[in-house]
Structures are given as C-alpha cells and as structure tokens.
Amino acid sequence: MSFREKSAWAMALIMALNGLLFLGLARLIPADAPGQVQLVAFVPFVAAVIIGSIVVQVVLAIYSPRDAQRPADERERAAIAVSGNWSGIVLGVGVVCGILDYLWWGQGNRLFFFAIGSLIVAQVAEYVFQIILFRRGV
C-alpha cells in the first residue's frame, strides 16, 4: 500500500468520525439558534480535524519517511485529480440541496449545516475515490 493510500485511509477515517461529531453537535442546536451557537459547534470540529490530520500525517511520515518525501507518480496524480473532480460534484449536489431546502423552509441555519455537511461528505468522498482509484487504477 502506497503512502498516499495510507494517508487517504487515515484522513477518510478522521473526516468521517469528525463528521459524526459535528452531526451530533448540530442535532443539539435548535433551528432558530443565533449564529454564535453554530460557531461554537463548529470550532471543536475544526480543531479535531486539524489536530487529527497533523498527528496522522506525522505518524505516517515517521513510519515511512522515504515514501512521504517522494512526489506523486503519474498514476497517483491522475487518481488525485479524478477523485477531486468527483468530490466537487458531491459538494455541488449537497450545496444545491441545501439551497433548495432554504428556499422551501427559509431557515439560514439549516443552509449553514447543509453547506458544512456537504463539505464533510465531499472530503470523505474524495478520500474514498482516491482509495478506489489507487487500488483499481485510473
């Protein structure tokens, strides 16, 4: 398994777990809560993603320093580009669904959570697409 595939597995796990954390926090916040409450829910999520990402990347780099320093080869670059395009589609669909939800219900808080949720799902999707393409080939 290549370094980038290990990294994709780890980051997908971190994003999925933190996405569940964010979902749990979002469910506790009433729909008509002020924006400061949403920000308070968002800060632990961002901190957990940043700290988890740094720890995982450092541990992976310690265990395979040569692989960590190597640039991506042609196959990996293609897989990363394709997975980025597909995750952009996932993000766009989620945001459009959020906009339609906003037009129907008229609650800006829900639109905020749709947008953040779409970002989380798109990022997890990007890592999953990378794993599939690394294993299958582009």
Nearest to 28 by CA among 135, 113, 136, 124: 113
CA distance 2 to 60: 11
CA distance 97 to 103: 10
Average of per-residue pLDDT across 75-101: 96
Average of per-residue pLDDT across 49-75: 93
Task: Give me the pLDDT at residue 60, please.
Answer: 94
Q: List b or e across 96-106, with b for residues whose CB sees 16 or more CB atoms inside 10 angstroms.
A: eebeeebeeee
CA distance 121 to 41: 18
> Which one-letter DSSP state was computed for residue 32?
T
Look up residue 98 and give its two tokens. Answer: 């959020």
pTM: 0.88
pLDDT tier for residue 35 given thresholds of 50, 70 and 90: low
| More reliable by pLDDT, 37 or 20 | 20
CA distance 137 to 132: 8
Task: Give me the pLDDT at residue 38, please.
Answer: 66
Average of per-residue pLDDT across 76-98: 96
Average pLDDT, the chain: 89
The 3-state DSSP composition of the chain as helix, strand, coil percent (nearest 5) reads: 90, 0, 10
Q: What are 91-113's pLDDT values in tens digits?
A: 999 999 999 999 998 888 788 88
Selection from 19-23, 29-33, 120-124 with the highest mean pLDDT: 120-124
Q: What are 45-58's pLDDT values in tens digits?
A: 889 999 999 999 99
pLDDT tier for residue 32 given thresholds of 50, 70 and 90: low
Instruction: Tell me the one-letter amino acid at 129.
Output: F
CA 48 to chain centre: 12
